[in-house]
Amino acid sequence: MEKKELKINYTSYKSIDELPHDERLLLNKAIEATSGSYSPYSGFSVGAAVEMANGEIISAANQENAAYPSGMCAERSALFYAHSKYPDLPVRAIAIVASHNGQITPQPTYPCGACCQVLSETQSRSGSPVKIVIGSATGAIVLGSVSALLPFAFDNYPK
C-alpha cells in the first residue's frame, strides 16, 4: 500500500474589490445574473458568468422546478448556453456566486458534483485550464483549474 496526499492551490481575497480587474468584472456579471434566478423553493439564487476565449461573457442563473431534479444549476445553464452559441470556442473562466433574500451569501458557494463534472469536460474541450472564481460577501476564492475542485474526474472524453 502507498499512502498519497493531494493538495490544491488557490488564492483567497478578503474583498471582491481586491480581485484583479478581469476576475472582478466576471464575478460582478455573476452577481447581476442572480437576479434572473427562479428559486421559489429554496430562496437560494445562484449566478454564473462564463468568459469565452474571445472575451465575451455569458451569464445565467439557476432555475428551480417543483419536480426538484428538473431544475438547472446556474453553472450548467451558462456553460451549456456558451457551448451551444460557440461550440468550438474555449472557455477561459467561470465565476459563481449565490444570494439569499437579495444578499450575497457569507460563505462561498461551490459547484455541485454534476456541475464539477461538466466543468471538467469543458476544461478538457478547451484544451487549457478553466479558472474558477467563487464569490461571497466576505471575499472571493480563485482556483486556477477545475482540477482543484474535481481532481479525480471521470475523463473518458472523446478525443
Q: For the chain, give every domain's residue range.
A: 10-148
Count of other CB atoms within 10 angstroms of residue 89: 15
Q: Which three cell numbers stand for residue 156?
A: 473518458
> Is the Cβ–Cβ distance between 60 and 74 less than 8 Å?
yes
- Selected catalytic residue, list 23, 51, 64, 75: 75
**What's the per-residue H, E or C state across 1-31?**
CCCCCCCCCEEEECCHHHCCHHHHHHHHHHH
CATH number of this structure's domain 10-148, picked from the four choices 3.90.1150.10, 3.20.20.70, 3.40.140.10, 2.40.50.100 = 3.40.140.10
123 backbone dihedrals φ, ψ, rounded to 5°: -65, -40
Please confirm, yes or no, whether 5 is among the known catalytic residues: no
At 69, the pLDDT band (50, 70, 90 cuts) reads confident
What's the whole-model pTM score?
0.94
pLDDT tens readout for residues 31-51? 999 999 999 999 999 999 999
End-to-end CA distance of the chain: 33
